[in-house]
Amino acid sequence: MNLIFLGPPGAGKGTHAEMLSKSMRLSHLAAGDILRRNIREGTALGMQARDIMARGELVPDTLVNNMMFAEIRELRAKGAKGFILDGYPRTIVQAQELDKFLASEKMTLSAAINFDASEEVVVARLSGRRLCPVDGKIYHVKNMPPRKEGVCDCHGQPLVTRKDDQPDTIRKRLAVYHESTKPLIEYYAKNDLLRNVPADGDAPAVQKLLEKLFETIR
């Protein structure tokens, strides 16, 4: 099964992709995580992406497309069962190029799941989001707190806030979402791949809805 997770930042795409990748044994490819890894490792791509990401803007389509195609090819070579693309595609051009790439690799998409979350909920989620600096595991100060306040459960490291989760940058990322990414809902609806999941609830509630939805996707 090859899935796309769509939705605004803070809709829960990363959290649910992480859970489902384990239970359904799918590979989780999160464009933002891969870009952040490139920044940590100081690659040429990371250097190009760093300031753009800190401003909450989108990294150019060609760079992100090439990065994601290389990841998908690598998964394929390893014989992966399927994937969840999280935060990719984010523009119509990316979606069109992805379609061409998958066709050339004789692969197909099973569904594009739209995490339908309200602005109020996503702002609250993003501003309370904290990360483990070692593996990027996601916490939330209220909704998903670590066992010990401010410290990661697995590595005992102080949790960090993403630079782009500051209030001004959150507003910028939401504006970018409305302008560039939201039109993908229509794009995948036309291709008959769109599935909507109400995503304002807490993680266990949304997870239940997703499991139900997956019974209808093959």
Residue with nearest beta carbon to ligand AMP: 32
Nearest by Cα to 218 from 193, 199, 196 = 193
Task: Number of residues interacting with ligand AMP: please give it, by CB under 6 A.
Answer: 18
Interface with ligand AMP, residue 173, by CB under 6 A: yes
Kindly list the distances between the CA atom of residue 188 and the CA atoms of 35, 71, 97, 132, 169, in Å, as whole numbers in the listed order.
25, 22, 14, 33, 27
Interface with ligand AMP, residue 87, by CB under 6 A: yes
DSSP labels for 91-132? SHHHHHHHHHHHHHTT----EEEEEE--HHHHHHHHHTEEE-
- 125 classed as catalytic: no
Structure tokens at 56: 């909450």
Between residue 181 and residue 200, which ones bind ligand AMP under the rule CB under 6 A?
A: none
- 212 classed as catalytic: no
- 25 classed as catalytic: no
- 76 classed as catalytic: no
Question: Amino acid identity, residue 36?
Answer: R
Which is the catalytic residue, given 36, 125, 129, 195? 129
Query: Which residues are annotated as catalytic?
Result: 13, 90, 129, 162, 173
Binding site residues, ligand AMP, CB under 6 A: 9, 31-32, 35, 52-53, 56-59, 64, 87-90, 94, 164, 173
